[in-house]
Amino acid sequence: MNKVLFGALSLAAAMSLNAAVYATVDGMNIEDKDVQLTLGAMPGVTLEQLPKDTQKKVIDETINRKLLTKEAKKSGIEKDSEYKNAIETLKDNVALDVWMRKIFNAIKVSEKDVKDFYDKNKDQFAEPAQAKAKHILVSAEKDAVDIINQLKGLKGDALVKKFEEIAKAKSIDPGSGANGGELGWFGQSQMVKPFADAAFALKKGEITTKPVQTQFGYHVIFKEDSRNAGTATFNEVKGHIESNLKMEKFRDEIKKRGDDLRAKSKVEYK
């Protein structure tokens, strides 16, 4: 059942993609839906979230897939019995996925249900103290010291601009480096201890005055903001609660329909 639910949601996500064209090959467009098939091993990931060099590799692989598909059709594979059987199975799966998606979309969750859940489960929404930071990761301590020296004396927007510029050029962390070193919000337990200790010790707008060493290398950290421990507000988690309650109702509805249909059917276990 989990695989069926996942299939329904995957289909819904795929159908919501914009029809952006990334390339053409022999007059055929390489669109979002084609790229998403290549990214099938990474559900929930979009092409734009990947580093530029990886995006190019994904597009190239999608081009190859498009050409191979064209070659397969030219071979007459569509007349093959194995192909025809696979198509019939695929039709069944698509029919079920689309039907289940319509059931899911028709489910409503009231504002009262969402608020009641929040009021009864506030302990679930407790949040630890958090920091928001950028970092530049390099492999040598000397390089980190040089970066700190370049940033000395800068404040405000000038510091942010220079920090992001260096992060994009020199950080060996591909995930954050491409985004100017941005790490977003994190709790103290989410980072390795030397990094977390240094980040939480900084004041808003400060950078580390010495390189911070971890098993990954040497970090220069810029603290953007901080939040005290507390409880997430209703408005902050409303959407999350609504989605969870809707999914719960959906699972219950699908199970009920399945159980009712099975009760009316003749089932023989072999």
Residue 118 parent element (H or E): helix 111-120
Q: With bands split at pLDDT 50, 70 and 90, how would you rate the model's confidence at 3?
A: very low
> Residue 54: which of 178, 170, 216 has the closest Cα?
178
Does the pLDDT value for residue 9 go beyond 60? no
Q: What is the mean pLDDT of residues 95-116?
A: 96
The two three-digit tokens of residue 252, written as one number: 């219950």
Q: Which amino acid is at 182?
A: E
- Rounded to an integer, what distance in angstroms lies between the CA atom of residue 26 and that of residue 67? 9
Mean of pLDDT over the chain: 91
Residue 22 parent element (H or E): strand 21-25
Q: What is the pLDDT of residue 11?
A: 43
User: Model pTM?
Assistant: 0.56
H and E: helices and strands count for the chain: 10, 8
Residue pointed to by tokens 């979009």: 46
**End-to-end alpha carbon distance in the chain:** 21
- Rounded to an integer, what distance in angstroms lies between the CA atom of residue 202 and that of residue 204? 7
% of the chain surpassing 90 pLDDT: 82
Q: What is the mean pLDDT of residues 28-54?
A: 85
Residue pointed to by tokens 């007059």: 27
Q: What is the pLDDT of residue 129?
A: 95
Q: With bands split at pLDDT 50, 70 and 90, how would you rate the model's confidence at 32?
A: confident
H, E, C per residue of 77-90: HHHCHHHHHHHHHH
pLDDT digits (tens, 9 = 90+) for 211-249: 999 999 999 999 999 999 999 999 999 999 999 999 999
pLDDT digits (tens, 9 = 90+) for 172-191: 998 899 999 999 999 999 99
Residues 6+ apart with CB under 8 A from 222: 133, 134, 135, 159, 160, 163, 181, 206, 207
Q: What is the pLDDT of residue 140?
A: 97
Q: With bands split at pLDDT 50, 70 and 90, how would you rate the model's confidence at 19?
A: low
> Residue 101: which of 170, 10, 181, 38 has the closest Cα?
10
Q: Which of 42-46, 133-137, 145-149 has the lowest mean pLDDT?
A: 42-46
Q: Which amino acid is at 191?
A: M
- Rounded to an integer, what distance in angstroms lies between the CA atom of residue 267 and that of residue 270? 10
Q: With bands split at pLDDT 50, 70 and 90, how would you rate the model's confidence at 52?
A: confident
Does the pLDDT value for residue 128 go beyond 50? yes
Does the pLDDT value for residue 1 go beyond 70? no
pLDDT digits (tens, 9 = 90+) for 152-174: 999 999 999 999 999 999 999 98
What domains sit in the chain, N to C, each tagged with a CATH number? 2-106 (1.10.8.1040), 129-228 (3.10.50.40)
Q: What is the mean pLDDT of residues 10-38?
A: 75
